[in-house]
Amino acid sequence: MDSIKHVEDAKQTGTTTVGLVCKDGIVLASDRRATMGYFIASKDIDKIYPVSDRIAMTIAGSVGDAQTLIRWMNAELKLYELKHEKAATVEAAAVLLANILSQYKYYPFFVQLLIGGIDEKPRLFSVDMLGGITEEKMTSTGSGSPIAYGVMEELYALDQDISVNLPIAAKAVSAAMKRDAATGERVDLAVITKFGFKRLEKEDVARLMKA
């Protein structure tokens, strides 16, 4: 079992993930590749995870560490809702995640995370492996992020709807896939609105990319 765990922990989502704040919600995007050094360990791994009805996270870094944090956040946010009889705000969820990471800074989780969602308004936070937290309107993580930023800086519009910014997020990840070896396979897209979390089907993403 120990050897299996070490192999799992060695998987890295070299990755490109993107988060955009829109007038009516949040857009999250990522690729689907996981690597072990120069070896492509998986061509179809989730990097966007809902952690409550209207909050989701993206992962970059160690797959094992990130999946542990996803399970932890799911449990903590459910407990929060039961205790307080209301859902946690996006900011509360981001602070909780930052506090968890800060507690383990001497044995850190090797991750870079985005957490976004909607309560009174759409909000997006970037959280690093030591628990540093910043609120963003447009951001990217992972090895392909410099390429993604180039696309977003040119095209992103803060005051636009999800329908306008969705193809921009897709283009940012797609551009990274062309130049970053650790980013690849296909683009994954998800949106968070007042109606909840929704992941786009592969066919819908493909049509969006061709438009």
**Enzyme catalytic residues:** 15
Buried b (16+ CB within 10 A) or exposed e, 7-19: eeeebbbbbbbbb
β-strands 34-36, 39-42 pairing: antiparallel
User: What is the rounded CA–CA span in Å between residue 50 and residue 103?
Assistant: 23
DSSP reduced 3-state for 121: coil
Asked if residues 172 and 15 have their Cβ atoms less than 8 Å apart, the reply is: no
Q: What are the structure tokens assigned to 124, written together?
A: 């997006």
Residues 6+ apart with CB under 8 A from 32: 42, 43, 44, 45, 46, 47, 184, 185, 186, 188
Q: Are 96 and 73 in contact (CB under 8 A)?
A: yes
DSSP per position, 152-181: HHHH--TTS-HHHHHHHHHHHHHHHHHH-T
Alpha helices in 14-89 (DSSP H): 63-84
